[in-house]
Structure 1
């Protein structure tokens, strides 16, 4: 449930004056069925006026089912400042993990920072997920600079070629260690998963529950606050992390790509969300 994971009071406070949020349905609506409207993420003003508004005027009780037809978080070029402001509130300030979950994320990040003090003092977070890699092929499109996703061996090669030292502290968005990560660990011994850095007393609740949403929420917090973020998997997670990092000024986001030759500058691989300021978050904070 939403209230189990997020700070409901903060959510309501941040949206106060923008939209009314209630804890439960009014009694007169509890026995009725809502009309279900499929809504694309980053909904446009035209869609609201042409689809949602007429349905709401007719039914007065809607359930909006979000469909992710696009994973892009580039600005849509709308001239509706109220709509943009509402989107900013909802995407970047409205949601905060509840106190218990936020504390666990802070403990994990603190552990990584503690470990990094034995090396170069930086924490690099890499979003690489074996479960997705096993389900999709990661082929380079014709003429494309980057592939759809990068496996651990390719991430290893990229990090070495752009100059990360062997003692760099790396966090992987994996729950458990598996043999596919062994070469990465051999090249970068200070590489850790959730199981490696989570407080032992929390593992039963957070790692053995099978709650993938909770695991990703922890990943989001850590990847948003690490010194460097490397999205080896494209998608909404990358965009959401980028937005939170832009908000806090942490713009070191390196997008993997094939490196021609023996080495390259890390600055050549900074996300276009940063170099071109093409992320929606820039319209919220800049």
Structure 2
């Protein structure tokens, strides 16, 4: 989003003394203080004051008490081409206003409010022009049923915050492993665990990724100062251990069971942390329980959607690429996950032919430890169980069945597909307006990030976050993160392929193309006419922020 100049707070705080001074010099005061004021004159003045007061009240009542009532009229910028752009409706005006405010305050806020700390997407486009009913329905966005971000912590939580945020004796160090979004989940849980243990959190250490050879540090990927400021009412975050704790016992605790509860964490680590002063945790991936007390669930959302803001260089380039996509009209972001390592780990066939499948099979045999789960299943069983990414042909048929027009522009998120352009050939044949970040960015823009797979993934995340529709072909951490982030920031449409149910129909030659399309649309009816998805038990609040982090009433975030 475009940045603006720093704008000072327009609301001036008046002290009682300054208020009295203003009253003392007002015209009304001089009238009242006149010794020669007649009774009729006095009644006139009193009537004037009463009328003025009622006028002021009426003006205040005219303005909405919350931004739910604000409606902005936005003029869509003209694209370079002559093609007319779809417009976007006033129902998204609250998010548009927040986007403008966030652009103004992105890097100049000393005490950020939650409303201006979030990454806010560009406005969605509403389909118009010569579209069929199916195409119009495809671009249609959910209305959200009035749900909006709402992080209202309990009184008990807030009472403890002053003591916990000032903690200077106990320090938690967390080592986060994996790719960008896997590490992101561990960082979120690290903040929650620090809160449970009433400890200061050292800025998490990112373990070198052996698969992608990525040596990025936290400060390379995220805005550290923003992270600290946003969480300072919840947990004290420091850049490094103080000198008084450098020689403390620092054994890494990485044999951690799954489904950790706050009670277990305190019983296992609190005494040890109080004695040693430092606790180092590793292997946190998906270990913390998905079902935490409401305040801790809200803290998760606060970290994920407000505190973890990408570093300025990443955010600037990601937003720039998103605007280049957005200016031409609506676009779909696809997270296909067709990289070589995904095919190795899933145990699936690529759909590119025997020579490519042979390469994957040989790598898998030499490195069997990378195969994830259900080792006894063959590739056909895995595919029909929904454990494989959709290949290019399957994704093309899926999009056509849902009503995506041939003119739709597709942004392909992710790394280089195994097989290169051949891997996307059948998709490009049906949807020729296919773009990747390497095509969208200038060479000099992307070059600083080429040695960091995490930074490239973050750029994909930003462009996908701003898309009108997001489709994750094979789940994963990025898919779940964007599902929740887009719901939290305006209920943006996300379509998750129901692979397990629909793939048998791909193999049935007796089904006509028209019947096939009806079946696929029926299976994804909820996605095509989406409503806010409420979190069920054991579902991650980061993917399903409703109802813990969103509400219809209350002060909300904006």
Same fold (TM over 0.5): yes
1:63 alignment partner in structure 2: 280
* Structure 1 range deviating more: 150-159 or 128-137: 128-137
* Corresponding residue to 1:205 among 448, 458, 475: 448
Q: Answer yes or no: is 1:87 the counterpart of 2:300.
A: yes
Q: Report how far residue 227 of structure 1 moved.
A: 0.6
1:206-246 Cα distance to aligned partner (Å, 9 max, x none): 2x31x111111112212222110101122221111112101
SS, match of residue 270 in structure 1: helix
Q: Answer yes or no: is 1:236 the counterpart of 2:477.
A: yes
Distance 1:201 1:31 in 2: 44
* Corresponding residue to 2:401 among 134, 157, 161: 161
1:277 alignment partner in structure 2: 534
Conserved? CA contact 1:140–1:148, under 8 Å: no
Distance 1:141 1:284 in 2: 38
Note closer, same or farther for the CA distance 1:147–1:59 as it changes in structure 2 (3 Å cut).
same
2:517 alignment partner in structure 1: 263
Note closer, same or farther for the CA distance 1:252–1:180 as it changes in structure 2 (3 Å cut).
same
1:102 alignment partner in structure 2: 315
2:424 alignment partner in structure 1: 181
Note closer, same or farther for the CA distance 1:69–1:11 as it changes in structure 2 (3 Å cut).
closer
2:239 alignment partner in structure 1: 23
Q: Report how far residue 134 of structure 1 moved.
A: 2.1
Note closer, same or farther for the CA distance 1:144–1:8 as it changes in structure 2 (3 Å cut).
same
* Corresponding residue to 2:326 among 101, 113, 122: 113
1:29-56 Cα distance to aligned partner (Å, 9 max, x none): 2344523233578753133223232331
2:166 alignment partner in structure 1: none
Conserved? CA contact 2:226–2:309, under 8 Å: yes
Conserved? CA contact 2:249–2:276, under 8 Å: no
Conserved? CA contact 2:331–2:409, under 8 Å: yes
SS, match of residue 230 in structure 1: strand
* Number of equivalenced pairs: 274
Conserved? CA contact 1:245–1:251, under 8 Å: yes
Note closer, same or farther for the CA distance 1:285–1:53 as it changes in structure 2 (3 Å cut).
same
Note closer, same or farther for the CA distance 1:249–1:204 as it changes in structure 2 (3 Å cut).
same
Q: Which consecutive residues of structure 1, in runs of 5 or more, have no partner in the other structure? A: none
SS, match of residue 11 in structure 1: helix
Note closer, same or farther for the CA distance 1:189–1:42 as it changes in structure 2 (3 Å cut).
farther
1:50-95 Cα distance to aligned partner (Å, 9 max, x none): 323233134221122243247xx9x9443x2332232222222110
Conserved? CA contact 1:140–1:146, under 8 Å: no
1:127 alignment partner in structure 2: 335
Distance 1:89 1:214 in 2: 22
SS, match of residue 262 in structure 1: helix
* Structure 1 range deviating more: 196-205 or 16-25: 196-205
1:220 alignment partner in structure 2: 461
2:267 alignment partner in structure 1: 50
1:137 alignment partner in structure 2: 347
Distance 1:230 1:174 in 2: 12
TM-score, normalising length: structure 2: 0.45
* Corresponding residue to 1:5 among 188, 205, 221: 221
2:253 alignment partner in structure 1: 37
SS, match of residue 475 in structure 2: coil
Which is higher, the Rg of structure 1 or of structure 2?
2
Q: Report how far residue 142 of structure 1 moved.
A: 8.7
* Corresponding residue to 1:150 among 390, 395, 401: 390
Q: Report how far residue 140 of structure 1 moved.
A: 7.2
